[in-house]
Structure 1
Amino acid sequence: MARYKVEQDDWLIVYLKYLLFVFNFFFWVGGATVLAVGVWTLVEKSGYLSILASSTFAASAYILIFAGALVMVTGFLGFGAIIREDRSCLSTYFCLLLVIFLVELVAGVLAHMYYQRLSEELKQHLTRTLAENYRQPGAVDITLSVDRLQQDFKCCGSNSSADWQHSAYILSQEAEGRRVPDSCCKTVVVRCGQRVHPSNIYKVEKR
């Protein structure tokens, strides 16, 4: 009976070991995914930095990279602890898991609290940027970023195409009769921004 009990305990330990190994594998894959998203965001979307009101975008990308790297390191530690069955490594592993959980919890609460306010600030800043900086001297980066933004996200202006009505560019002779930039057009051709119609441009305001 005692021998059966020992064998049953051994089986349970092996089962828990493999279960923890599988969990740790998916945990590590999740960290690698977060890291990849952070790097992709920083590389592919860095062109938008010039039109943002703050460094939130870049900071978010760096946070994703740091979080992903931390999770991957923790995952490696977990693999080592499971294979070696080292109690000190396992203790460190579970402590790091607790820290990661608490950090994610705090980040989630802060994101929920500041999302709406940050969204409004970004909209206001973008509307001001469209009006004051687009196609102005020394604002080449901003102009390229706005054009790319409107084409990538299939939009026109911050809230609607009406945001361009008071733009320094649209009110100037350089606009050549355009009511919105050509990058607002669904099919971009020279001076296509002269015709403001839902069939021609993105995100027209309701009338």
Structure 2
Amino acid sequence: MGSQGGMCGFSRVLLKRCLRLSNILIFLGGLTLLGVGIWTIQDKSFSTELIRNSLYLNTARVMTAVGCLTALLAVFGFYSAQKEVKVLHLTYFVFISVLLLILAIGAVLAYVFREQVELTLEAEMIFDVRHYDPDQPDSPVTWAWHTTQSKLECCGLMTSQVNQSWEIWRYNPILHPQGEAIWSVPHSCCIPEVPCGIYSDNITNIYTKDCYVEVKEFVSQHSALLGAVAVSIVGIQVLGIISSLALFYSIV
């Protein structure tokens, strides 16, 4: 009997250590998810007006909230690992299971968004080219185009109607009134601190990259990063769930 009790106590010590280690990793993962979510919301929101898909930022907001809750729950899990109280482990198990489910859904949504961008982004950007108004710099469309072109160092987008991406701006009725032969592009297309020449047959010293390609790659990479962090934390949470459940059943 004494030997069995000793083995049981030894295994419980191992389970406690495993749960503590799991929660340290979960805490670090939660902080990472929180940081990536805040970074995405603050620095990457400029492209959402052109994308016209709220799934991108909504997923980032959910991930940010879950990251914060995950870090807090990890602290509670670390505390519960110190205590042999079944109700603490049961509470931890329930909450971490809920967060795991939300994170798993969030990871799926992040990858689903990447597929949606492929289908809708070009049409939305072409639509916004026609509604760009340099006289209204605070309008969402104008602000989005200026910020996107400046940050990603691109100008316009390629379509079957143009030979250069910046030529798409000829279809903007304000930059090119009917009958106007002078080429013109938004000032955000111009390379900083370099004179941006506008001529009747050409434009010099402007960004030549395709904004459609740059935005698609930009949001796809960050969606993939968000999804990868979520999947990684889900894997760690599974270890925490197993450890907590095993410790729960080991407590008499």
User: Scaled by the length of structure 1, what TM-score is found?
Assistant: 0.76
Distance in structure 1 (CA, Å) of the matches to 2:182 and 2:94: 64
Given candidates 194, 198, 201, the residue that maps to 2:207 is 201
For residue 74 of structure 1, what is the amino acid of its counterpart? L
Deviation of 1:23 after TM superposition, in Å, equals 1.0
Aligned to 2:168: 163
Q: What stretches of structure 1 of length at least 5 have no aligned partner?
A: none
Distance in 2, matches of 1:88 and 1:176, equals 77
Query: How many pairs were matched up?
Result: 202
Instruction: Give the TM-score of the pair, scaled to structure 2.
Output: 0.64
Cα RMSD, aligned residues only: 3.3
Long gaps (5+) in structure 2: 159-164, 212-252
| Cα contact 2:59–2:109 (8 A) shared by 1 | no
Asked if the contact 2:56/2:110 (under 8 Å) is kept, the reply is no
User: Once the two structures are superposed, what CA deviation does each residue of 1:136-158 show, in whole Å capped at 9, x if it has no partner?
Assistant: 44754533331221121232224
Q: Which has the higher contact order (CA 8 A, sep 6+)?
A: 2
Map 1:44-193 → 2, pairs under 5 A: 44-137=43-136, 140-159=139-158, 160-172=165-177, 177-187=182-192, 189-192=194-197
| Whole-angstrom CA distance in 2 between matches of 1:193 and 1:25 | 58
More deviation in 58-67 or 37-46?
37-46
* Whole-angstrom CA distance in 1 between matches of 2:112 and 2:140: 31
Q: Report deviation, 1:21.
A: 0.7
CA separation of 1:187 and 1:178: change in aligned 2, threshold 3 A:
farther
> What percentage of residue pairs aligned between the two structures are identical?
23
Shift of residue 190, structure 1, vs aligned partner: 4.1
> What is the identity, as a one-letter code, of the residue corresponding to 1:56?
L
1:82 is displaced (CA, Å) by: 0.8
* Cα displacement string for residues 7-37 of structure 1 (whole angstroms, at most 9, x for unaligned residues): 3432322122112111111111111221222
Tell me which amino acid in the other structure corresponds to 1:26. L
Q: How does 1:12-31 map to 2 (within 5 A)?
A: 12-31=11-30
The one-letter code matched in structure 1 to 2:209 is: K
AA at the equivalent of 2:68: A
Take 1:90 and 1:55, find their aligned partners in 2: how far apart are those partners?
Answer: 37
Q: Secondary structure at the match of 2:171?
A: coil
Shift of 1:58: 3.6
